[in-house]
Amino acid sequence: MTQPLTLAYDEFKTILLDRRSIRKYTEQPVSVEDIREIIDCARYAPSDTNSQTWEFIAVMNRDKIKDIEAITWEQLHRRAAEAEQRGLSKEARLLTKSFGPYATAFSDAPVLIVCLATPYNSKFRERIFDPVELVDDAVWAEEGIKSSCLASQNLMLAAHARGLATCPMTGPVLLAQDRLREYLNICPDCQINMVIALGHPAERPARLARKEIDDILTIVD
């Protein structure tokens, strides 16, 4: 029992350490079968009371992905112009030059997965939490996002294990959430958590450094 588990752990850790956020993709398309397989892995993420507060939209049309890029730039330029008017020229320039390319790094990808968080509903909430007014609505919105994030991580690791590459992104959501919602006809109940670019990698960036374990871990014994 111990031996196979150790082997599985080593492979798992390699997958974990080798994943990168990829922003350049080859022309090779991604199949619907690949997408269904990684969504199959996503849906086995844990969720609060197994509420499964996630849904995914896979945009597989490059023209539509370009439209989403254009929508993001449009909103970015609008915000930069507003900042300029308020005398924040340096920030406006940085928004366009630095944040712009970062927020649109999905433009090259053959697939853009929009990760949604659906409302957190459960018998616990209905029968106990809401009657006692346990927490306010903003907390429940966060609850849905938490599980959606875990599913998104499953999705990215599964993609990497299948030789695909991803980049999780909130840039377009921060800038153009309302326009994105309109463009993709997303129901008002759902929150747009993040978008994930998906494709075959055309770059292999170095692993970025992480904080040391001792700087992020407190052991209470």
Q: Where are the alpha helices (DSSP H) in 43-88?
A: 62-85
167 binds ligand FMN (CB under 6 A): yes
CB of 191 to ligand FMN, least distance (A): 13
160 binds ligand FMN (CB under 6 A): no
Which residues are within 8 A (CB) of 26 and not within 5 positions of it... i.e. 6 or more apart? 199, 200, 201, 202
Nearer to ligand FMN by C-beta: 103 or 111?
103
- Please report, as residue ranges, which positions from 19 to 38 form the binding site for ligand FMN (by CB under 6 A): 20-21, 23
119 binds ligand FMN (CB under 6 A): no
CB of 103 to ligand FMN, least distance (A): 5
CB of 176 to ligand FMN, least distance (A): 12
Measure the CA–CA gap between 88 and 91, rounded to whole angstroms. 5
168 binds ligand FMN (CB under 6 A): yes
Nearer to ligand FMN by C-beta: 119 or 168?
168
105 binds ligand FMN (CB under 6 A): yes
Rounded to a whole number, what is the distance in angstroms from the first to the last CA of the chain?
29
Work out the burial of residue 97: count CB atoms within 10 Å of its CB; fewer than 13 is exposed, 13-18 middle, 19 or more buried. Answer: exposed
At 145, give phi and psi (nearest 5°): -65, -40
Q: Enter the tokens of residue 80.
A: 């930069």
103 binds ligand FMN (CB under 6 A): yes
Nearest 5°: the CA angle 24, 164, 64 is 60
- Please report, as residue ranges, which positions from 171 to 210 form the binding site for ligand FMN (by CB under 6 A): 171, 194, 208
Q: Enter the tokens of residue 86.
A: 């308020």
Q: Give the bridge partners for 197, in sequence order.
A: 112, 167
Q: Which stretch binds ligand FMN (CB under 6 A): 26-34, 50-58, 71-79, 161-169?
A: 161-169
List of residues contacting ligand FMN (CB under 6 A) = 20-21, 23, 102-103, 105, 167-171, 194, 208
